[in-house]
Amino acid sequence: MERGSASAGPATGAETATGSGTAVRHHGNRHGRSEAARMAVLEAADDLLVEKGFAGVTIEGIAAGAGVAKQTIYRWWNTKTDILLDAFLQDAAEAFTPADHGDLAADLRDHLGRLADFLAGSDAGAVFRALLGHAQHDPAFAAVLRARYLDEQRRRDRLPLENAIARGELSAGLDLAFEVDRLVGPLYHRVLVTGDPVDRAFTDRLVDDFLRRPPHPPASAAGGGTP
Amino acid sequence: MERGSASAGPATGAETATGSGTAVRHHGNRHGRSEAARMAVLEAADDLLVEKGFAGVTIEGIAAGAGVAKQTIYRWWNTKTDILLDAFLQDAAEAFTPADHGDLAADLRDHLGRLADFLAGSDAGAVFRALLGHAQHDPAFAAVLRARYLDEQRRRDRLPLENAIARGELSAGLDLAFEVDRLVGPLYHRVLVTGDPVDRAFTDRLVDDFLRRPPHPPASAAGGGTP
Amino acid sequence: MERGSASAGPATGAETATGSGTAVRHHGNRHGRSEAARMAVLEAADDLLVEKGFAGVTIEGIAAGAGVAKQTIYRWWNTKTDILLDAFLQDAAEAFTPADHGDLAADLRDHLGRLADFLAGSDAGAVFRALLGHAQHDPAFAAVLRARYLDEQRRRDRLPLENAIARGELSAGLDLAFEVDRLVGPLYHRVLVTGDPVDRAFTDRLVDDFLRRPPHPPASAAGGGTP
Amino acid sequence: MERGSASAGPATGAETATGSGTAVRHHGNRHGRSEAARMAVLEAADDLLVEKGFAGVTIEGIAAGAGVAKQTIYRWWNTKTDILLDAFLQDAAEAFTPADHGDLAADLRDHLGRLADFLAGSDAGAVFRALLGHAQHDPAFAAVLRARYLDEQRRRDRLPLENAIARGELSAGLDLAFEVDRLVGPLYHRVLVTGDPVDRAFTDRLVDDFLRRPPHPPASAAGGGTP
DNA sequence: CATTAAGCGAGACGGTACGTCTCGTCTTCAT
DNA sequence: ATGAAGACGAGACGTACCGTCTCGCTTAATG
């Protein structure tokens, strides 16, 4: 899973790998949390998820796989889903800033295509689906998942539309949340509900359809809007 | 949850786990399954789900709640999700045949509204979301869920469009699966992913939008079809 | 184990668990106990004991092995040890009437040798040891075992001595129970407690020793009797 | 059952399952076994045996009675009989070093009397009979029982005779195993087989008889002993 | 420079639930 | 009425993880 490479970059902030030795800050406590242990746990967690599925992810299994004591895990995480969420965020966080080609159609095709690849075709997407599945069972975790990932992802989903508005391609009055629902909703539906495959043809068609229809007025004017 | 009334009648018992048809009691079979035990299990299962959430549903808990031996459960079901699926199917199966008002707009508004109520506002919907969440962890169960519920539900989702085609309101060349994705996808997205509320205004707007835009031609003719 | 020949005859079959008397046979009528079922049960029971040991003997296992319904077993026996006791009695009952050679030494050597062979070297002996073992756990069963087998066996053990008394070889005042304890006790001790092998040399030596020492007077005259 | 006092001392706890020696508590070992749990298990086990008999001794029952988790039991013992054996050894081990009065008759009377009291009249004896009964069903356990108790007990049984040989009271050529069989065999026979009561009169009579008969030459000279 | 307190690997512990096994009872159908 | 079949309530089995807890070691900032 090449975790090391995912986080070594300047974007990740304080937690670098242990090898560097310089950036270990955390001066509040005596000698601070072991970065090696943290990485080993995250790596072991999604190795387990990929190998044996969600039910095969176990705190004890993670501890054994990471060569770490259970207590070390419990010191820093509360549940296995917290661990998986950390692992997921570390892998996936930067993967998604949509490009800005100066053209709404191109931006949307690009973004939806990459979203589809992520959701249906990547290891990280598998972890995400597992987390989203768990969120259906656990409202508290759902809130955490939203705060730590989904809200950010929705902002990214909105970005191409916002850029288009800034460019004047789209009217400023759009209900962006609704439009995003309409763009990505069918994609999530296929991935989460029907299980049908999602390919470029499908996502392009979604974009196509979105662009061909008259922009939808916001809810307050739902009754009478015209293009 | 009024389970007794949901099945065809107190004496029926036809629905074994596979849900066959004719009403046999159980003296037609040589040594019959106890219908009372079956009902008690299903009832206990979704009582538990509602009271304590998915993680609180336990085979032992169901057995205790139903006054039934664990072995009786294991004789007829493999996993707790099988039980919940049976319970869900028994409650929810007939709830959804969409009406046919002879008018596509009315049919869609009605259907999407009822779908939203079901998904977001009913006990049965809570069970369904839990099952769908579990399906994200367990591909085998996902297949079962599709075979036993989702495929049927998708047929129901398609029905208003098919009726409209029969009436000539819509062109016969539509890619119904895609159109259904576009209708219900945003709804599922809100319920499963964003957690935003879904009300009549939202579903009506989805319908509205669907009707206002030119019907989308099938993929092969993506370039140009118009009504 | 040749069970069939042991009980097929008209004289047998009477000893049901309830101990009724008449030989039912169930020849033409459909009432009455099935002798075939009874035999199959007994045979299956000690087949299981020999194959898988005492813990491997199970009512369900016997039923399966005998091709008989559990209820048929429960109708006629209370516990698995009752079945094993019936099986044992049927096999072993007639095996032990000690011969009367008109000579105490010969009679005792013969009897102890056969007893040793039985206890340590026969399938029936294995069943007997299992039953005796179970009797250590279950006083009620111990009582049944004594009533149905051990008392009779002790009578047989006494027989050579009684014959010798009748012949005048031994004094009539002997405490036979004590003398029998002294004859067979060491043998049982080896078989049940130490697990040391018992061969003819050992049993002959017991007899030898018994004969060489002055017969022990009864307790009341412990101080002085001589032959 | 006064377990605390039976072991070498309240702080000892040296007896792991294997019963080694030095007193370590358990902060000498790196991650120590809980002595409290061990004691509670042993105590609960033979409380159960005394109260409800062998069949009433259950791992779950022991765990509940001891306030201990089942897994803690399975970590240290394999079967319930292992537990009972540990409990028995702890209670009974030191109870039996026969005294040495300098007189064979007195030593034997004393030893056999105490052995009879133990076997037939004590709680520990009840446990022992249960273990011996189980050994009839389970050869592997029989071997363990011999290695952990019976061999030692036989040494104790031999001791009075060995002392007498050392004193010159008995000839050095005796087959001690055989002589011990003859001394204690009748006692075990009564206790294990016939169920007849064993009192001092009986054991004294066994000793009496042993002493009155001419010492038996070893097997190799069985044919020709002299008085 | 010793002290000392945090993090850590290790793993025993009291628990809960798992899925399996056998028990003894029962109902049904066929003979 | 007996027997074959087998579902049922009951409950123990042995296993897997849970989350908590000591324990002894290491290590780095503090006094």
Task: Give domain status of residue B129, yes or no.
Answer: yes
Same domain? C38 vs C127: no
Q: Which domain holds residue C39?
A: 3-83
Phi-psi region of A102 (alpha: psi -120 to 50; beta: other; left: phi over 0): left
- DSSP annotation string for B147-205: IIIIHHHHHHHHHHHHHHHHHTSS-TT--HHHHHHHHHHHHHIIIIII-----HHHHHH
Helices H / strands E in chain D, number of each: 11, 0
Q: What is the pLDDT of residue D189?
A: 98
- DSSP annotation string for D147-186: IIIIHHHHHHHHHHHHHHHHHTSS-TT--HHHHHHHHHHH
Q: What is the pLDDT of residue D113?
A: 96
Task: Give domain status of residue B181, yes or no.
Answer: yes
CA-based nearest distance B174→chain A, Å: 13
Is residue D64's pLDDT more than 60? yes
Q: What is the pLDDT of residue D31?
A: 57
- The amino acid sitting at A146 is R
Q: What is the pLDDT of residue A91?
A: 82
Which one of A178, A194, A209 has the shortest CB-CB distance to B154?
A194
Is residue A165's pLDDT more than 80? yes
Name the nt closest to D63 by C-alpha to C1': E14
Which one of D195, D206, D222 has the shortest CB-CB distance to C142?
D195
Name the nt closest to D59 by C-alpha to C1': F12
Same domain? C194 vs C114: yes
Same domain? A162 vs A126: yes
Share of chain D above pLDDT 90, in %: 69
Task: Give domain status of residue B198, yes or no.
Answer: yes
Instruction: Report CA dihedral (A160, A161, A167, A173) to the nearest 10 degrees.
Output: -170
What is the per-residue pLDDT across D88-108, written as a single tens digit (0 to 9) for each?
999 876 667 888 999 999 999
- The amino acid sitting at B64 is A
Which domain-ending residue is among D11, D43, D77? D77
Which one of C137, C185, C205 has the shortest CB-CB distance to D133?
C137
**Interface mutation vs chain C, best among D150, D189, D202, most C CBs within 10 Å:** D189
> Is the CB atom of residue A71 positioned under 7 angstroms from any atom of strand F?
yes
Which domain-ending residue is among A23, A48, A77? A77
Task: Give domain status of residue C224, yes or no.
Answer: no
Q: What angle do CA B75, B80, B85 make, to 5 degrees?
A: 100
State how far the alpha carbon of C219 is from the alpha carbons of C13, C155, C175, D200, in Å.
43, 20, 8, 12
Mean pLDDT lowest for which of B206-215, C99-108, D60-69?
B206-215
Task: Give domain status of residue D42, yes or no.
Answer: yes
Of the candidates D207, D209, D20, D200, the residue with the CA atom closest to the CA atom of residue D103 = D207
CA/C1' separation D93–E14 (Å)? 31
Q: What is the pLDDT of residue D215?
A: 57
Closest alpha carbon within chain A to B120: A136
Q: What is the pLDDT of residue A153?
A: 94
* D214 vs C contacts (CB less than 8 Å): 212-213
Q: How confident is the model over D107-131, as a mean pLDDT?
A: 94
What is the per-residue pLDDT across A10-54, written as a single tens digit (0 to 9) for each?
333 333 333 333 334 333 345 678 888 899 999 999 899 999 999
Same domain? D56 vs D113: no
Whether the CB-CB separation of A38 and A15 falls below 8 Å is answered with yes
* B214 vs A contacts (CB less than 8 Å): 212-213
Neighbours of chain C (3+ CB pairs under 8 A): D
The more confident residue out of C221 and D137 is D137
* D205 vs C contacts (CB less than 8 Å): 178, 216, 219, 222
Closest alpha carbon within chain A to B191: A136
Same domain? A64 vs A153: no
**CATH code of the domain in which B11 resides:** 1.10.10.60
**Does B132 contact A136 at a Cβ distance shorter than 8 Å?**
yes
Same domain? B18 vs B115: no
Q: How confident is the model over B132-155, as a mean pLDDT?
A: 96
Q: How confident is the model over B143-153, as a mean pLDDT?
A: 96
What is the per-residue pLDDT across B183-203, written as a single tens digit (0 to 9) for each?
999 999 999 999 999 999 999
Same domain? C49 vs C112: no
Same domain? B103 vs B208: yes
Same domain? D100 vs D174: yes
Q: How confident is the model at residue B33 (pLDDT cuts 50, 70, 90)?
A: confident
CA/C1' separation A76–E3 (Å)? 27
Q: What is the pLDDT of residue D131?
A: 96
Number of domains in chain B: 2
Across chain A, mean pLDDT equals 83
Same domain? B105 vs B164: yes
Residue B42: DSSP 8-state: H
Task: Give domain status of residue B8, yes or no.
Answer: yes
Same domain? A159 vs A204: yes
Share of chain B above pLDDT 90, in %: 71
Highest mean pLDDT among A3-17, B123-137, D4-18: B123-137
Q: How confident is the model over B118-136, as a mean pLDDT?
A: 95
pLDDT in tens, chain C (227 residues): 334 333 333 333 333 333 333 333 333 334 566 788 888 999 999 888 988 899 999 999 999 999 999 999 999 999 999 999 999 998 776 667 888 888 999 999 999 999 999 999 988 899 999 999 999 999 999 999 999 999 999 999 999 999 999 999 999 989 999 999 999 999 999 999 999 999 999 999 999 989 886 555 555 444 333 33
* B133 vs A contacts (CB less than 8 Å): 132-137
What is the per-residue pLDDT across B55-112, written as a single tens digit (0 to 9) for each?
999 999 999 999 999 999 999 999 999 999 999 999 876 667 888 999 999 999 999 9
Give chain A's contact residues with B (Cβ, < 8 Å). Answer: 53-55, 129-130, 132-138, 142, 146, 150, 154, 177-178, 181-182, 184-190, 192-196, 201-202, 204-206, 208-209, 212-214, 216, 219, 222
CA distance linking residue D84 with residue D82, whole number of Å: 5
**CATH code of the domain in which B102 resides:** 1.10.357.10
Q: What is the pLDDT of residue A120?
A: 95
Q: What is the pLDDT of residue C198?
A: 96
Whether the CB-CB separation of A141 and A135 falls below 8 Å is answered with yes
- What tokens were used for B88? 């869900």
CA-based nearest distance C94→chain D, Å: 20
Rounded to 5 degrees, φ, ψ at C184 are: -95, -20
Same domain? A51 vs A103: no
- What tokens were used for A208? 């196509």
Q: How confident is the model at residue B141 (pLDDT cuts 50, 70, 90)?
A: very high
CA-based nearest distance A18→chain B, Å: 33
**Interface mutation vs chain C, best among D138, D145, D194, D199, most C CBs within 10 Å:** D194
3 state DSSP class of D137: helix
Q: What is the pLDDT of residue A215?
A: 58
